[in-house]
Amino acid sequence: MTTTSNAHDPFGAATHDVDDDTPVINAVGGDWDSVADEATALHEERIVVNMGPQHPSTHGVLRLILELDGETVTEARAGIGYLHTGIEKNMEFRTWVQGVTFATRMDYVMPLFNEAAYCLAVEKVLGITDQVPERANVIRVLMMELNRITSHLICLGTGGMEMGATTIMTIGFRERERILRIFEAVTGLRMNHAYIRPGGVAQDLPVGTIDAIRETIPQVRRGLRELEQLMVENPILKGRMVDVGYLDLTGCTALGMTGPILRSAGLPYDLRKTEPYCGYETYDFEVVTRDTCDAYGRLMVRIGEMHESLKIVEQAVERLEANPGPVMVEDKKIAWPAQLAVGSDGQGNSLDHIREIMGESMESLIHHFKLVTEGFRVPAGQAYAAVESPKGEMGCHVVSTGGTRPHRVHFRDPSFNNLQGVSAMAEGGAVADVIVAVASIDPVMGGVDR
């Protein structure tokens, strides 16, 4: 063993205790280097623009490599991985319930859908899908549909800002804020809730939530009408979006695209209808479609979906008033404590709740402690569950070896699949149209990179 300095590595310092013939491997930006080198070798007059890695609005840290002929994009590629968090691998070292706190942080614009997909998959392996209380399922539907609206408002607002229409952003964020107040009242957090848990939800709706939702619905409807008046027939907006980011049904299906992108191509594919979960088959709503295959069509689909989500929210509120049941499965070997109360200091559990746990029996206290610290065991097996998120099919595949932690968790994030469409949507268009095309995809890199 000797101390050597590798002359072939321009970035390498002296390496200690390494054999002389040990290879040194450098990871470099291959796409950028290869495109630039190719252009130089061919002596062509073309421009290669490295757009990013940056954080345009709220999509996340995305890098686009564009090859231009004047103002026309001749080749477009998406570079991802700058926001990688290792969430899927981290979940293998946490209990099944703790995994929810990781899943919720992937696509941080639609956290409740991440949680729902994960919990539905865990419940499948546990074999308790049919044991989840009706009230818990209704609360899940209520929260997910409110989250669908907030996600679409982010898409419209940031997309408008990227095109220079700041008013669209301010109205969109104003309406989103109304719903985030409800999320905060119910879960304690505006985002990254970890509210949906295997077997149900963390706790029941606090007193006054139903009234707050009833008060908020007409306010959000007025805000949506304001957005529609500002956007739908605006000639400047239509000039930027009509026939821009075109991707037909054949292209969508070939690339595995789902969500508003697929429905803007005319296919009414929605998991809430085709493969219902959480009781969606019992709700009255329509699947919104368009046949324009462009950015404007995706805008119209999202606007329509927000109105349909408000209809579902109203139905969920009526059911919650009529059904005061539990919000967690009865099996105490699985049920994470769901009937929590807050102490007089506004923190922790109330003394009454602690007395209830400790007063039952020493065995109950020990079981409670082990459930929270060690977690429950999931039988060996695997399952896949998917939900219709604001961006498309959000799927989760979990594998258990019979322990208290997952052996493997893998997510099918819709933004990851949908980003494949960047090349097809952007090539042949102008540089300015790339921004519109990406905004119409509505990717969130937290979900893409995971």
List pLDDT tens digits, range 216-228: 999 999 999 999 9
**DSSP letter string, 409-434:** EEEE-HHHHHTTHHHHHHTTSBHHHH
Sign (positive or negative) of CA dihedral 444, 288, 112, 166: positive
In angstroms, the CA 196 to CA 338 distance is 11
Mean pLDDT of 82-95: 88
What pLDDT does residue 324 have?
85
Q: Which residues pair with 4 in a beta bridge?
A: 15
pLDDT at 2 over 50: no
Q: For residue range 20-70, list pLDDT tens digits in order.
A: 566 665 655 556 566 666 666 766 667 777 877 766 555 778 888 888 888
pLDDT tens-place string over residues 313-326: 999 999 988 888 88
pLDDT beyond 60 at 75? yes
pTM of the model as a whole: 0.84
Cβ(183)–Cβ(143) below 8 Å:
yes
Report how far residue 313's alpha carbon sits from residue 186's, in angstroms, rounded to the nearest whole number: 15
Rounded to 5 degrees, what are φ and ψ at 71?
-95, -5
**Residue ranges per domain, the chain?**
2-79, 87-332+351-449
pLDDT at residue 11 above 50? no
Query: If we measure between CA atoms, which residue out of 118, 193, 120 comes closest to residue 150?
Result: 193
Contact call for residues 196 and 140 (beta carbons, < 8 A): yes
CB 216 within 8 A of CB 353: no
Q: What is the pLDDT of residues 152-192, one digit of tens each?
A: 999 898 888 888 888 989 999 999 999 999 998 888 888 88
If you average pLDDT over every residue of the chain, what do you get? 83
Q: How confident is the model at residue 117 (pLDDT cuts 50, 70, 90)?
A: very high
Q: What one-letter code names the amino acid at 167?
A: T
Contact partners, residue 236, CB within 8 Å, separation at least 6: none
Return the CATH fold of 87-332+351-449.
Cytochrome-c3 Hydrogenase; chain B (1.10.645)
Q: How confident is the model at residue 356 (pLDDT cuts 50, 70, 90)?
A: low
Q: Per residue in 390-433, pLDDT tens?
A: 999 999 999 999 888 999 999 999 998 999 888 888 888 888 88
Is 93 or 372 the better-scoring residue by pLDDT?
A: 93
For residues 426 and 245, is the Cβ–Cβ distance under 8 A? yes
Q: Please indicate whether residue 369 or residue 316 has the higher confidence score (pLDDT).
A: 316
- Specify which residues 382 forms β-bridges with: 399
Cis peptide before 379 (omega within 30 of 0): no
Percent of the chain with pLDDT over 90: 34
What is the per-residue pLDDT for 13? 45
HEC-encoded secondary structure of 207-250: CCHHHHHHHHHHHHHHHHHHHHHHHCCCHHHHHHHCCCCCCCHH
Q: Which pLDDT score, from 0 to 100, does residue 15 have?
A: 46
Bridge partners of 393, per DSSP, are: 388
Residue that the structure tokens 């549909």 belong to: 145
Paired residues of 386 in beta bridges? 395
Q: Is there a contact between 390 and 113 (Cβ–Cβ < 8 Å)?
A: yes
**pLDDT band with cut points at 50, 70 and 90 for residue 12:** very low
